[in-house]
């Protein structure tokens, strides 16, 4: 008889382009809502896919600091359409 421990992780994803109107998607509100809903749970995480991140931009750094020390993964690489679709499918 095989007895094992199963651990499931739910990953929510959020895609946005920083060169677009950030206010339209409101990533800061999403980060705060995610924190309120899940806190520091280890079985849930949020993947934030950022197209054209403005790494040195103060507003962007402040946005990232909202999620510091939380279960948020920042994905800042440029992907092709097929790679984005594969990421969403996974």
Are the CB atoms for 47 and 27 separated by under 8 Å?
no
Q: In the numeric block, which tokens belong to residue 46?
A: 């949020």
pTM metric for this prediction: 0.78
- Looking at the chain, the whole-number percentage of residues with pLDDT higher than 90 is 17
Which residues on neighbouring strands pair with residue 12, listed in sequence order?
Answer: 46
pLDDT for 9-51, tens place per residue? 888 999 988 777 667 788 889 998 998 899 888 889 999 998 8
């Amino acid at each position: 008889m095989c007895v094992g421990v199963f651990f499931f992780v739910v990953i929510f994803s959020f895609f946005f382009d920083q060169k677009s109107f950030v206010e339209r998607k409101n990533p800061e509100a999403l980060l705060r809502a995610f924190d309120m809903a899940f806190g520091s749970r280890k079985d849930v995480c949020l993947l934030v896919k950022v197209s054209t991140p403005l790494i040195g931009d103060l507003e962007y750094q402040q946005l990232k600091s909202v999620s510091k020390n939380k279960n948020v993964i920042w994905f800042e690489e440029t992907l092709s359409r097929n790679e984005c679709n594969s990421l969403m499918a996974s």
